[in-house]
Amino acid sequence: MGEGVKGEGDARRERWREHRAARRAEFVEAALKALDEHGPDLAMEHVAAAAGVTKPVLYRHFTDKADLFVALGQRGTEILFERLIPAINREEAPVPRIRRSLDAFFSVIEDHPNLYRMLARKAFNGRPVDSDPVREDKEMIAAALTSLLGDYMRALGLDSGAAEPWAYSIVGMVQTTGEWWLDRRSMTRDALVEYLTTIIWSAIDGFLRQHGIEIAPDKPIEINKVVQLRRAR
């Protein structure tokens, strides 16, 4: 009997935990909508209004503004990787693969510009927070790209020592260009993606030709590798 009561209690606690997690996720989605309307200077009042609740209800699910900031950062990472992983993992010709991966990133910051701006500032409603999801995402993507480039270089009989600085330079260039584009919007997303695709492929192609290797940019190659992006613990 005691075990039965304990089992029922565990089940109730699990249902309550799931309910709170689902409710918290709903509030994060409401915060995303509020960001679209109010911009990166979002306040808790805006989130509460978008969710149709009062501020005290929000604070039952988030300990403070920093907690909501972290949750928004986690959601932003999910959105980014939902688009980026299939693009990077797609085994196709080099240039289309580069183009598709770049477009995945720029589609996210185009759809959620205020989320990106707020996370990049590392502040919620003007108050600094310790979390830095933009940097964390950059590190994860650069590490994964290092692995991918290293696999290709070793398969081609090349020294893979250049893989890491290449990866970080590509990720840094793309991130910086993304911030510039959000501020300026002087060209379309398609045009920007095409420019960066050309720059990245030209660097890769030039490096390979220096070593006597030629790869067709628009034909799949046999040594295609699949990279898996995982969130660092």
Phi, psi of 220 (to 5 degrees): -60, 145
Return the SS3 of 224.
Answer: coil
Cα-based torsion angle of the residue sequence 151, 156, 162, 166 in order, rounded to the nearest 10 degrees: -70
Do 171 and 138 contact (CB within 8 A), yes or no? yes
Return the SS3 of 123.
Answer: strand
Phi, psi of 48 (to 5 degrees): -60, -45
**Using 50, 70 and 90 to split pLDDT, how confident is the model at 233?**
very low
Model confidence at 43: pLDDT above 80: yes
What whole-number distance in Å separates Cα of residue 43 and Cα of residue 212?
Answer: 57
What whole-number distance in Å separates Cα of residue 110 and Cα of residue 105?
Answer: 9
Q: Is residue 7 part of a domain?
A: no
Q: Is residue 136 part of a domain?
A: yes
Q: How many domains does one find in the chain?
A: 1
Structural domain range at position 93: 63-210
Q: Is residue 116 part of a domain?
A: yes
What whole-number distance in Å separates Cα of residue 106 and Cα of residue 161?
Answer: 29
Q: Is residue 186 part of a domain?
A: yes
Model confidence at 5: pLDDT above 60: no
The tokens describing 174, both together, are 């793309």
Ranked by mean pLDDT, which of 10-14, 76-80, 123-127 comes out on top?
Answer: 76-80
Question: Element (H or E) spanning 110, and its range?
Answer: helix 94-111
Q: Which of 167, 141, 139 is nearest to 153 (CA)?
A: 167
pLDDT at 4 (0 to 100): 57
Q: Is residue 89 part of a domain?
A: yes
Single-letter amino acid, residue 132: D
If you average pLDDT over every residue of the chain, what do you get?
90
Q: Is residue 87 part of a domain?
A: yes
Q: Is residue 114 part of a domain?
A: yes
Q: What angle do CA 165, 170, 176 make, to 5 degrees?
A: 120
CATH code, 69: 1.10.357.10
The predicted-structure confidence for 134-186, as pLDDT tens digits, reads as follows 999 999 999 999 998 999 999 999 999 999 999 999 999 999 999 999 999 99
Q: Is residue 145 part of a domain?
A: yes
